[in-house]
Amino acid sequence: MERIGVSGAALIDIDGVLTVDWQPLPGAVAAMERLRAAGLPLALVTNTTSRTRARIAAKLAGAGFPIGEDDILTAPSVTAAYLREHYPGARCALLNSGDVREDLAGVTLVDVAEGARGDVDVVVVGGAGDAFSYAALNAVFRHLQRGARLIAMHRNLYWRTSEGFDLDTGAFLPGLERAARVEAEVIGKPAEAFYATALAHLGAVASETLMVGDDIETDVLAAQRFGITGVLVRTGKYLPETHRSATGTPDHVVDSFADLPALLEA
């Protein structure tokens, strides 16, 4: 299989690219099998915060994708590495919808509500959902007022489900930042640190890697700014209006992940 100006590796988003609500999109499994058969090194990079790497791998493998846990990098796992390096020993209050504690190994976690005692050093905000109640958000706000640092796994505005778009962390984070007069350290996509971690994971260089995603800003243009070839798919959260109003132009646009092998062969 020939490759489009890149010969190193591929970074692939999951939700909206390979699956929606964890159901495979048409042709996605077959396309992944072709990439595997071609020997293209790849990693699945996702801001998903509702499942651990192990659960994601099991779910994808059960759907037929030739994927293992080592092929997956999540915002929680990269956040854990960041916290261990930059905030060793810190007491971290986690606000996240979904249990990803397994991927936060080496991080001291406390419940958000425990912060009434003021013994929280860092607030870690993951993915939005039912856990983002007024009480929880207000507790986070009070931690920040007391001096806790704010770490966000991502600032995605929304994601697509089988019932339509659901609000995500980016719909709440700016309010917390403005109210508490702080700026979040964002670790997941589109942070440069996330892409650097992914490239290091594969032993690849940016100029020989492509990124496939459905979010033109967070996935594609952010990767392009880091020197990675960007491929936008018209599935998942893709909307024509966001494409037209984007801050840049993707290197390539395809209808779906199923078209990626043909693009690589072109």
- Going residue by residue through the chain (266 aa), what tens digit of pLDDT does each one get? 444 444 579 999 999 999 998 899 999 999 999 999 999 999 999 988 888 999 999 999 999 999 999 999 999 999 998 999 999 999 999 999 988 989 999 999 988 876 555 689 999 999 999 999 999 999 999 999 999 999 999 988 888 777 888 999 999 999 999 999 999 999 999 898 899 989 999 999 999 999 999 999 999 999 999 999 999 999 999 999 999 999 999 999 999 999 999 998 87
Question: What pLDDT sits at residue 84?
Answer: 93
- For residue 124, the model assigns a pLDDT of 96
pLDDT at residue 114 in the model: 61
Task: Quote the pLDDT of residue 117.
Answer: 59
Q: Tell me, what's the pLDDT at 66?
A: 97
Q: What is the pLDDT of residue 209?
A: 96
Angle at 180 between CA 157 and CA 50, to 5 degrees: 35
Write down the residue that tokens 């976690």 correspond to.
109
pTM assigned to the model = 0.81
pLDDT computed for residue 54 by the predictor:
94
Burial 33-71 (b: 16+ CB within 10 A, else e): ebbeeeebebbbbbbbbbbbbebbbeebeeeebebeeeb
pLDDT number for residue 160: 77
